[in-house]
Structure formats: C-alpha cells, structure tokens
Structure 1
Amino acid sequence: TGDDTLRVACSGGELLTLDGTDGHVIRRTQLEPGLRDVVVDGSRTLVSLFRTADVLVLDGNDQITKRLHPKMPGFEHASLAWRMRAVAGGGVVLAHQYAQKTSQDVPVSSGGYGGVGCSPPIVISAVTEIRNGEVISTTQVGGMPVPTDVANNPLLRENLLVSSGALNEAESATDFVADFVQRSYVTGVFSSQAAELFAEPAPNEAPDFQAPSPDDTEFADGGVPTDPDLKRLGPSFGSPCGGGHGIDSAEDGRQALAVAVLPDGTIVTQSRDPWTIRFVDVNFQQVLAEVTLPGESRKDSGHDLFHEDAGLGIACASCHGEGGDDGVAWRFTELGPRRTQDLRGGLSGTEPLHWGGDLRDLPDLLDEVMFTRMGGPKVPRKWANALGHWIDSMPKGPAVTGLNPSEVAHGKALFESGKLGCMSCHNGEHLTNNATIAVGTGEALQVPRLTGLGLRAPYMHDGCASTLDERFTNGACGGGEAHGHVSALTDSERHDLVAYLKSL
C-alpha cells in the first residue's frame, strides 16, 4: 500500500489491514460476502466481488463511496470477476464474464449453450478498465472461456487476458500466431489491441475430435485418469470478433493460469502441470526463456474437464466458477427459470441431480449438459468418474464472517426445533434429504443443500429472493406455509434464523 501495510480481502466479507512487518491485524472492516481482490489505487481502495463482478470503491476509512458494475449491450449480468489487477499510473483492469439477458430463453436442445462464429455463447469473457474510480471501457472477448487472469501492458497500451478454458498444442508463440489465422481457435493469452490483424470470423465448426474409448484409459486409485491423452476433450476455438486475438499458447495442453508484464514489456505467463514460467518478448515474436518449476504434479483430468471449453466457447467453470455458482437465474425453454447450482462440497450422495431431480447421476448429467447443451463430445463413464472424484474433493463453500454468535446459536435452535419443520427436509451432512418435494413454488423440486448458503444469493430455484431475509418476507417467493412454518416468526427470530443460515 506504500505505508508498509497489507490489505487482504476475505471471501467471508472481511477486509483486513495487516502490519507489513509482523502480519498482525491493524484493522478489520466487515464489507459483504464474496470479496475477491483488493487494489490500493491512490487515496482509494478498490475491492472486487467474485460472483457479481461488482467493484467497491472505498475511501481512506474503508467506507464504501461507490459501487461499480460493468455493463455491456446485449448482456445483462456481469459475473465471476476472476481477477482484478492494478494498472501502472493508476486504475485497475478486471477480468470477468457476462451472462446473456435472462429475459431470453436458453435452449436446452443440442448446442443450446454455445456460440458459433461471432454469435456468443450464453457466457462470454470480458475485460473492464476502471480509472479514477469510474468504469472507462468494457471489451468483449470471444473464444476465451474461464478468464483467470489479466494484466495491462502500458508500453503498448493493451490488456492481456489468460483463458484457462482454452487448451491447445501449438509449439510456440510464433507458431501459434501463424496458425491462428488458419485454425481460428484461441488459447493462452489474448491481446486487446490487435484485433485488426485478424478481421475474419472463426469457422462455424471446430476441428474434428475423436474421444478415446473408455477402455483405452487406466485409472489411479480414486478414479482419477492417469493417461496424459486425457488432458483435453476437444479443441478450444473462438473468434477475434470480440476484439482480441491469441498471442501465446498453453503448449502441449498445459493450462494457462496467470500473466504479468515486466517493466521492459516482457510478457510472463504461468501454466500448470508441468508448472512452467514462460517469458515472451514484447512483440510476441519469440519465447525468450522457459522455466519448469519443481514439485509434485497435481494433474487431475477431472479438473481439466471441468475447466476446458467443451467445444462451443463455454466450460463447466463458466457458470460454476471455482465449483460454486455465478448467481444467475436462467430461463430455459421447457424448464422455466433455474438458478445455477453450487457444486462445492461434492455431488456424491446428493442424487438425483438438477433442480427437477430428473438426472439419475453425474454421467446422465454430462450426457444432458456437456454433450447436448454445451455441444461437447460424449463423455466416457471413466472420465465422468474422474470429474465426480474432483468435484467431491472440493470443500463446502465458506461461511459469512462477522456474525453475532448468540444470534447464530438462537437461529440454530429455531432451525432444529420441530416448530418450523426445517429439518424434515434439510438434514444430514449437506442439510438435504435429496428428495424431490413440492414446497408451494409451483412444482416439485430437489431439496438443495444449505452449506455455504450465505454466499449464494439469489435464493430459491428461480432466484426470486435477492437476500435470505427476502426468502421469508416475500410471500410470492418462498412458498408460504408449505415451505416451513415460518410465518409466525417475529422479526428478531427471523433475523437470528438468517444469521444461522449464513453461518453454515
């Protein structure tokens, strides 16, 4: 920060100021759940929120003076702000996503989630620049799902975006740029200022891909594939229509994670498994050096499958960022409104899946969603097992911090009492009995888990409650007495019940 202190944003909602010498906490400020990155920008502090892509502007006393929200014509919901970085000379650059307008029906037919050519998928990556506490610009980026990092290059006045969802087997930055014109699928890093070099849209079809037979692969204990050929299901492809083009590749299928710019303009990228640092010259003409980092491999094909573009510019992580959810309530043809579900804490033991409970298990879900709606390849059962193993390894979502312990304890007692009837459905490890039940919302739906609930707004299957309190006070939303005997709660009791739910 310039004064020998550190600022730390915590997902539970706390902003900490730490002493830079010994790390002790100087100040705690409770903001709101879902904090992501923090940047000190002159006299202001900017804090991003992951699920909403909002940026809070704080004064010198950590008081919120403004809330910034990226906007782009044709898209309604900015979401999943994967990374916010400082810009030399002031301001920040934000890598995030947009979801299409929820007033538009999303087809559940073949390829319904994807984009072809310059037509975007239901989720698209974007870069937003903020200067002097105001949004200056937002650039749509085609063919770059899961934008995990961003950096600004002041020498060329451009932004560099990393896509962890785009994997490719090009040999070098030079080969890749030459190949890009012919193959038109993007990987690794994108430059926001060179779109004029590639004026033609991408082809309407990805290169052919043949998935190996399920019998071609051996698995390690726990169901994790070990065959290196499982590093990718299909080619990521996209279009420069969004304003950028690929400049570097995740060589041999390595997943790009991070990007930085050195003072002389050298581009530094990091990829995983094998962990590699690559230095590329400022004009993207050659790889200057490549360093392979030591350490045990963390290769997991379930992780790769979850984050990789299925083939139409969208990955599982595009909606389920870091295994959670994007807070978007979609409107699907034939199904109606459905908000994205949180996957953290695992899926095993919570079947059947999806809000309607119409999918028996994870292989069925992958057939319906990845193969049909996302336009990906048919996923062999062993690969599905690997993905399930990886999802089950994720811890449950974090709880909200700064809650009053006595209020939480009273709310817990109310929740567990027979008076309200909450535990007739919300019980067990994940606080769900996995049943499909009608609770006054117009249709029978799966009982959702309640773990990590405080960071999962909006609530209910259609997102009709913007807050947990509104779930109980909005008569048109919560289901009434068919969804727990909560109408007789006093304001104080309801407050304490909500505090307990936030603590889960």
Structure 2
Amino acid sequence: MTRNDWCSIALASAMLTGCFRPPDATPTPDPFTPGPEARSPFIDPRFYEGNVTQEVAPPPISGGTLQLHDGWAIAADADRDRIVVVDYRRARAVHAEVALPPGAEPGRVVTDGAGRAHVVLRGIGEIYSFDPERPRDGERRAVCPMPRGIAHDGARDLLHVACRGGEVVSLPAAGGPSVREMRVEGGDLRDVVVDGDTLLVTRFRNAELLRVSVEGAVMDRVAPSVVTDPFNGFIDSTGVWREAVFQPSVAWRTISMPSGDVAMVHQRASDTELQLAPGAYYATGFCDGSIVQSAVTVFTDHGASRAPNLGTSSLPVDLAVSTDETEIAVVNAGNQSGESAVAIYPLAALETRVEDQGCMFPNETVAGVQNPVAVAYGEGGLLVVQQREPARLVMIERTTGQRFEVDLGGESRFDTGHTIFHANASRGTACASCHPEGGEDGRTWLFAGLGPRRTPAMHGDVTETAPFHWDGDLPDLRALSEVVFTGRMSGPRLSGTQVNALGAWLDELPAPVVTPRDAIAVQRGRELFFGAAECGTCHSGAMLTNNTTVDVGTGGAFQVPSLVGASQRLPVMHDGCATTMRERFDPSCGGDAHGATQRLDDAQIGDLVAYLETL
C-alpha cells in the first residue's frame, strides 16, 4: 500500500466515524440494541460475525515477541503459552514447539553469543533458556515477580532482566541462578539495552530512558521530545493561554540499532482540554486527530531526535530497524484487520532534529497481515512479521518482494472482549491506548467543565467497581461503552453480548504482583489501615472499595477507587496530586476527611505506605 492509499484510508475512516458526520437528531439507541452501523476498517472482521469468549482469557498485547538468529525465528506466543522455533532459512517450517505452564505469558526474546535463546516468562516471573536446535531441553530460572525486558551483555556473558517492580536482575547466559540484583526507584521498567559498563532501561508509561549504574543509581535520564499541536490551545490554571503539546508517553518497545544508537516506538498524548462530546478523542486536528498518537524516537550521543507523529498508527507495540539502517518497520496492533497493520518508514526521516515535524505517513505498508504483535529484520533485507491470531509468521524478501508464510498452528484465541479493547476504534485510538496492557498510561487528562482526571487502571474485577469514572456518573459497563467507545472514540456501537464479552475479558486481567520488602512494617501498616487510620471504612472488600462517591477534601465528591495495585499506578488521586504513595498523605492531597491520617507520625505513615505497596 502506498502513501496515497494510506491517506485515502484515513480520510474514509474519518468520514465513517464522525469527523464529517452531520448532527444526528434521532434518539440514541439503547446500547444493548444494535444501532446504525459504522464499521471501522481497522477492527478484526470477526468482530461483526458473532461473539466469542475464551474459557481462558488471552493476555493483553505487549508486543516485541520475536527474535531472528542464525536462520532461526524464535516466536514467543503469549496467547497459547508456548515458544515456537521456525527454521526460516532452510526448511521454512516449524522446527519445534515448547509448551510452557499455563499463564507463563512468554514475552521478550534475546539470543547470546553462543546462539542460545532466552525468553522472558512474564506471567510466572522466570526466563526460559535453550538451544534452538533442542528447545525442549531448556532451563527455567526465577528472576522477579514481573519481568519485562531482557538484554545480553556480550562482554560479560550476562543476561540483564528489567522488571516492572524496579528490579534489574543479572544472570549468567550459560545457566545458573542470578548473580546480582539492583533496584531502580520508581519502578515501571520495560526494556533494557547494554551500553558499555552501564545499562539503558526504559520506564513504560512516561517513556523515559534511564542510564543506570551497576549499583542501580540513575546516572542520567532523557525522554522523547514534546511536539507542539498547532491547532489547539487552552487557558491553564493560572489564566494564561498556552499552546497544547503532545507529550511523550507509553514506550512500547526500545531496541539497540546496528549502529549502537537506540530506537524507541512510543505514544505521544495531547494535553489539550477535552470536551465531553462524541468524537472528543479526535480533537487535536493533528495527523488523524487522535489525542494519542505514535512516534519513533532515535537516541544518539547528541540526544533525542524530534521525529514527527505517525499518521493512522494505533498501538505501536513493536519496531525493527533494517540491518543497513535504511528503513524501520512499526507494528500497529490496533489495526487488526490488516489495514496499515505494519508500516515502513525511511529511517532518515525519523532521525531528523527539525522542530515540530508534524505528521508523517509511511512509505508503504505490508499487505495481508492481521493481528500483528512483533516484527524483525533478518539478513539480506528479510522482514518477518509475527501474527497472534491466526498464529503465523509472514516473511518478505524486501529486495525481491518474494513472500512466504509459516503457519504456527494452535487453536484460535480470538476473543470478542480482547478484540474490542485493542481495536483502533476509528482514527487511531484504542482502549489500550490509554490503558496499555490493561493498566493505565500514567497521565492526568484535562476535561472541560470537570478539570484534571487521572486515567484509572483496569486490572482485577473491574466490573465489580461500578459506577465508573471519577465522578461516578456512568452506572455500568453498558453506559461506559456507549459514552466512551462509541461516543468519544467514535467506535461502532456494541451489542449487549459484546459489552458482556468485554466485561468478561476485563475481569480476567491479573492484578500486579508485588513482593513485600519489610514484612513486619507491612503488618503494622495493615493494622493501621483497618484500624486507627480508618482507611478500611471506604476501601473494603476484595477490590478495596465500597463503590461510593465521597468528598474527602480534594475539591469535590469522587469515586472511591480500588486500591488493588495502587503502588504500580502512580501518580494517584483523581488529579494525580500524589506522585508517590507517601505524597498521598500530604495535606494538599486531602486532609482528615480522607481517613484519620493527619494524627499519624512519620514512622506510622511509612508503615502504612509499606502495606499499600503490597496491595
């Protein structure tokens, strides 16, 4: 598909989904009754053919699950808890499959100097190391509760694993237990890249790139650039008019380039004031108008590039750079149907430092690829794309255009709720754009007439926490889908069974796993929480909420949020006023109306924080 074809698709989608739609004077149909059809060209077509709810819910998409090495393609299949090794150079067929424990959720893959492969098992806190010739004879090793990224340090023959909780664990590549563990304060770690004697690690939600010493100290930090939105502005809290900007967020994937530079595919989010109206999430006028857009930033010794936003990109979960560094491929997991699901750009255009480049469309896209999750370049210009559903590798010789596919087999994992959550609803925005991996983006959005509102997380039995939104104005998931997915996101109207399927999938999202650091402090904090501090008065039950709307001295009456995984979704409170759990107890984030915490001394606050960090 060419650039002009892409622009036509974007325009057609905008017309279908409300950008140019005349006002509709007819009453809004009940969301449990199919309304006027507005088909998105990006959603998996099976969405329209009937509802499917898997007995075991497929995990949220994380991307970046493919590695090529010496003729082997190693694909981590999180949907089916397996690793598939493909001989793509000789047999062009599946060589072997490794069945993993249920819930293993294999993710990032790396190979070492001896040709061994190492796969992060996100769901069970381990890595699996093996020889691709004999993948079933591998070794499972414990690393941390929530491992995410992995890199091989060739100089020391070590593996470095970055974990969501802030741990960076080092293990011998040849086998055996960990030899070092350090902790990066603030956590939320994603990918790791070896750079001499230091490590570069990313934070997932704010897209920071940290340079970390072997002791775990942050030596330097840099983030992708902001980009001015020339079409929007607003009056800030001080009464001053300012231009809106797109700020970096959600670093889906970060890799080392052949040259030694580092490339990150991430989102940018607009800080413009959002209206509470249909189509409000396409209010920027920039690219396809979405308030969440995609970008690729290249980090060199001179800093971060100022690359443009990428038009009609949705959920950019992976990227790959060709071996000659002439082009870059981006996986758009939100574009499930195959329309612009894998986009290719000239690398030179993404490395520019020219100010505010605006919007860029790809030179071409890979046709006939559905539900992609990963991409990699091999020798001789080979491009390999991993599909999650159906499970398949699509291989394209970039020099000749020759294409061949390898079916990875396995049962279908299509799930209606999973599809809705990850789908590009119309012009770039998916539920997962603001709730990556079923969590949240770390952002506090500004809504007209409401003020700042922090993105809530979706982990745990979220349907048990209704009513929804901070103001408690949406009584159930039916109302939420109508107002947000169909309304503000301009997505297709959901039937009752589709809403139920979405709820069933959301309720299976696992809560973050946290390891207590001080069990005695945690116990003291628990006693305070349900005792003298009176937190348990409202934060009760399995989800630690009584689902009521209460004024706790923070400027109005707001929903009592679930505290499940609270320490993993900082900042907290409706306006994000607490960037740490301890800051929650600052008077500016609520006084004695928010529990009886003002009478606690500093040590007691520390104990209470220790307990909150285990939830």
Correspondence list, 1:217-232, <5 A: none
SS where residue 294 of structure 1 aligns? Answer: coil
Report the CA distance between 1:397 and its aligned residue. 2.4
What TM-score do the two structures reach when normalised by structure 1?
Answer: 0.82
Report the CA distance between 1:450 and its aligned residue. 0.5
2:415 counterpart of 1:294: no
SS where residue 96 of structure 1 aligns? Answer: strand
2:551 counterpart of 1:426: no
What TM-score do the two structures reach when normalised by structure 2?
Answer: 0.68
Correspondence list, 1:32-181, <5 A: 32=185, 33-74=187-228, 75-101=245-271, 104-114=272-282, 118-132=287-301, 134-169=303-338
Report the CA distance between 1:98 and its aligned residue. 1.0
Partner of 1:347 in structure 2? 462
Partner Cα distance (1:85, 1:52) in 2 = 17
Partner Cα distance (1:186, 1:308) in 2 = 13
Correspondence list, 1:326-341, <5 A: 326-341=441-456
Correspondence list, 1:386-405, <5 A: 386-399=501-514, 401=515, 403-405=517-519
Asked whether the equivalents of residues 323 and 344 of structure 1 are also in contact (C-alpha less than 8 Å), the reply is yes
Match for residue 490 of structure 2 among 360, 375, 380 = 375
Partner Cα distance (1:21, 1:364) in 2 = 54
Match for residue 485 of structure 1 among 587, 596, 615 = 596
Partner Cα distance (1:246, 1:422) in 2 = 55
SS where residue 365 of structure 1 aligns? Answer: helix
Taking structure 1 as reference, are residues 362 and 192 closer, same or farther at Cα in structure 2, changes over 3 Å only?
farther
303-312 vs 154-163, greater mean Cα deviation: 154-163
Partner of 2:575 in structure 1? 462
2:174 counterpart of 1:24: no
Taking structure 1 as reference, are residues 382 and 190 closer, same or farther at Cα in structure 2, changes over 3 Å only?
farther
Taking structure 1 as reference, are residues 281 and 156 closer, same or farther at Cα in structure 2, changes over 3 Å only?
farther
Report the CA distance between 1:78 and its aligned residue. 1.4
Match for residue 406 of structure 1 among 508, 520, 542 = 520
Partner of 1:247 in structure 2? 365
Asked whether the equivalents of residues 167 and 188 of structure 1 are also in contact (C-alpha less than 8 Å), the reply is no
**Which runs of no fewer than 5 residues in structure 2 stay unpaired?**
1-152, 229-244, 351-357
What percent identity do the matched residue pairs reach?
39
**Which runs of no fewer than 5 residues in structure 1 stay unpaired?**
170-184, 197-239
Partner of 1:268 in structure 2? 384
Partner Cα distance (1:312, 1:294) in 2 = 32
Report the CA distance between 1:112 and its aligned residue. 0.7
Match for residue 7 of structure 1 among 160, 167, 170 = 160
Once the two structures are superposed, what CA deviation does each residue of 1:252-277 show, in whole Å capped at 9, x if it has no partner? Answer: xx211001111222111111111111
Taking structure 1 as reference, are residues 454 and 144 closer, same or farther at Cα in structure 2, changes over 3 Å only?
same
Quote the RMSD (CA, aligned, Å): 2.1
Taking structure 1 as reference, are residues 250 and 322 closer, same or farther at Cα in structure 2, changes over 3 Å only?
farther
Match for residue 321 of structure 1 among 432, 436, 441 = 436
Partner Cα distance (2:302, 2:517) in 1 = 30
Taking structure 1 as reference, are residues 123 and 459 closer, same or farther at Cα in structure 2, changes over 3 Å only?
same
Asked whether the equivalents of residues 111 and 312 of structure 1 are also in contact (C-alpha less than 8 Å), the reply is no
Q: Which amino acid aligns with 2:176?
A: G
SS where residue 6 of structure 1 aligns? Answer: strand
Partner of 1:280 in structure 2? 396
Report the CA distance between 1:167 and its aligned residue. 2.5
Partner Cα distance (2:286, 2:340) in 1 = 13
Partner Cα distance (1:189, 1:408) in 2 = 48
